[in-house]
Amino acid sequence: MPVEEFVAGWISGALGLVLGHPFDTVKVRLQTQSTYRGIIDCTVKTYRHESILGFFKGMSFPIASIAVVNSVLFGVYSNALLALTATSHHERRLQPPSYTHVFIAGCTGGFLQAYCLAPFDLIKVRLQNQTEPRARHGGPPPRYRGPVHCAASIFQEEGPRGLFRGAWALTLRDTPTLGIYFVSYEWLCRQATPDGQNPSSTTVLVAGGFAGITSWVTATPLDVIKSRMQMAGLERREYQGLLDCMVSSARQEGLGVFFRGLTINSARAFPVNAVTFLSYEYLLHLWG
Ligand SMILES: C[N+](C)(C)CCCC[C@H](N)C(=O)O
């Protein structure tokens, strides 16, 4: 089983992650708290209240976990494609796989990475939603002191299954949308590249960026539900399940609720995924 894809997936994921984390914090807050009027309001308030550091809350865990998550995504994707088409990464330019195979391999990668991602994502969302400034004396201390304390508290208060809160919504969000992700990337690359040649860096950047946007646009409704289910344990507001969360959110806030965070998700997705795909392709080329 080729391992380069796993390592390339890890490094490229980490680069994308740091770049996109401030956008991600604003998104999570807009999706789960109703005190902000929009992206600008949330950004200004976060900056005033918590300084630039506020945007990087909850990042250490994703950085550690991206090693697992993105390498599972890219590694499983590439190896699934190898199993389906019997072509390695380097042969794929000459013998391009069919879009159906790309989609199936993408969904398989998406499904498996969702399970690795679930507990890390939960901790990230809980930490991002703490709006207390980091160093304030006298005020009430934040609920969680850091990622490890957060994980331990969830474990104690909500049980081991608590760590997988929202995991179903996450799996449903990621399985088809990561299929879409790789299909869009492949399609855009092929449109801009003569047969049999490697796509240029610009093509990879643009195709990666748009693949990120397409995938996030289709993922946003379930992303909202996922974030809400993850916060539910903390807010002592129980949902019966995914459907209940969907119905009660829509009843209370209208259908627009499913598109919360769409703009910011898309703005984040372009640079993050452009960098992810460029570094992934570059590393595989380097080691090839
Ligand atoms: C499938 N879905 C759109 C949810 C995620 C796509 C993940 C791609 C990249 N790691 C990123 O964070 O943008």
Q: Is 186 in the pocket of ligand 1 (CB under 6 A)?
A: no
Q: What number is the average pLDDT over the span 8-36?
A: 88
Over 60: is that where the pLDDT of 213 sits?
Answer: yes
Structure tokens at 117: 């991602």
Question: What is the band of 238 on the pLDDT scale with cuts at 50, 70, 90?
Answer: confident
Residue 1 has pLDDT above 70, yes or no: no
170 lines ligand 1 (CB under 6 A): no
For all residues of the chain together, what is the average pLDDT? 90
- Overall average pLDDT of the 135-158 stretch: 83
Q: Say if ligand 1 is within 6 A of residue 74 CB.
A: no
pLDDT per residue as tens digits for the range 263-288:
988 999 999 999 999 999 998 888 87
> Residue 215: what pLDDT?
97
Nearest Cα neighbor of 127 from 55, 48, 37 is 55
**Nearby residues of 33 by Cβ (< 8 Å), 6 or more positions away:** 129, 131
Q: Which atom of ligand 1 is nearest to the CA of 177?
A: 1
User: Which fold does the domain 3-133+142-287 belong to in CATH?
Assistant: Mitochondrial carrier fold (1.50.40)
Q: Is 257 exposed, middle or buried (0-12, 13-18, 19+ CB in 10 A)?
A: middle
Over residues 44-69, the mean pLDDT reads 88
Are the CB atoms for 57 and 127 separated by under 8 Å?
Answer: yes
Angle at 155 (CA atoms; ends 6, 163), nearest 5 degrees: 40
Mean pLDDT of the 31-35 span: 86
Segment 57-93, tens digit of pLDDT? 888 878 888 878 888 999 999 999 999 998 888 788 8
Give me the interface pTM, i.e. the ipTM: 0.97
193-202 pLDDT tens trace? 998 888 999 9
Dihedral angle sign, alpha carbons of residues 78, 79, 83, 87 = positive
CA of 272, closest atom in ligand 1: 13
* CA 43 – ligand 1 centroid, Å: 22
| Residue 119 CB less than 6 A away from ligand 1 | no
Cα separation, 94 vs 27, in Å, equals: 40
Question: Which residue's CA is the closest to the ligand 1 atom numbered 9?
Answer: 273
